[in-house]
Structure 1
Amino acid sequence: MGYEETGMTRIQKEETSVLSRFVNEVYFKLSSSSMLQKDDNFGWIPLYYAAHSGNRELVELFLNHDNSLAYKKNEKGKSTLHISAIKGHVDVVRTLIDKRPDICELKDDRDRTALHVAVESREEEVMKFLLESIAFQDLINEKDNEGNTALHTASSGGDFKILQILANDSYIDRGATNKGGMTFAEIILSTNLLNDTEIVSIHA
């Protein structure tokens, strides 16, 4: 057993070393050739790919080289924060906000914040992190281009656990209405996605 553990530890160390060398090589090639700001045929820069894959180390290296990258948006108006939130990479989200707290204010082409897209993607850990983040505190009730807050978005999705976390957060405005004049409670009742017990629990 001890031999197996030692062998596994050695393999893990070797894998970590290989990954670290790869990250440094990628960073060196990109930064030395001024390609960090250049997007590809899909409108993506290297930072987006690093965030999408959850490579926190590479994200940090890119931002240390040029922190303005955090403010760039792709063709759909999504920033690196949106991309990492959608994929559920909470470590990347944390790194981005630690580096540039004001990127929390960035919205996509539908005026959605990182919280909106995390809720829509049902990424619970990212959602909870954003709710607890001081940098995001004043943005929790931001509305998209249809007047929906993150709570409205959750109500349309019908995920009970996500809804419960949001509805019980002290900063959430449960009475907010969207452009259709609907509150989150009215959306819940109109979708029929929750059972009666869940609805009562949410409204409690």
Structure 2
Amino acid sequence: MSDISILVLVGSLRAGSTNLQLAEAAAQVTPVGVSLTIYDGLADIPFYNEDIDVDGAVPDVATELRAAIAGSDAILVITPEYNGTIPAVLKNAIDWASRPYGAGAITGKPVAAIGSAFGQFGGTWAHDDARKSFGIAGARVLEDVRLSVPGSLVRFAELHPKDDSEVMQQLTAVVRDIVAGVPVKNAA
């Protein structure tokens, strides 16, 4: 297998986020030949505005996000649910990654959306909305890659997701399925 890079976008900015912990745990189950990088910088990207998305005005942090997405083979979104949908920071990343329309960094990129939330459904609405937004933005959404961990504040109150065998099994399957969704690279 050739090297495959998975970029992780975490929808929570909180240092103690269970979704960040899920990302850290996912990094531990990547097989040989696969790298998983957690993107750190979504908080610094200004809200998308076409007035600043022009040559000479694009913020460096937005250019860096686009480059990180373009340079990866797949995207893993790990997000909580805020008020029944995706956090603004994640929606903003989608907006920046989708431009220029039809040729954005996310165009054709395999994307999976998973995560945890306090509620009984584990953030499924947010995960569904993330899939919908990424799909409209031009990504190739991996619809069958799913994991929504409910009751996160209780379940992970004293236990890191990496120490939860059920979650680790599910994360292993998520990473495996993302890798399977990456097109085979042509040998040069």
How does the TM-score come out when normalised to structure 1?
0.29
Structure ranking higher in strand proportion: 2
Structure ranking higher in helix proportion: 1
Instruction: Select the structure of larger CA radius of gyration.
Output: 1
How does the TM-score come out when normalised to structure 2?
0.31
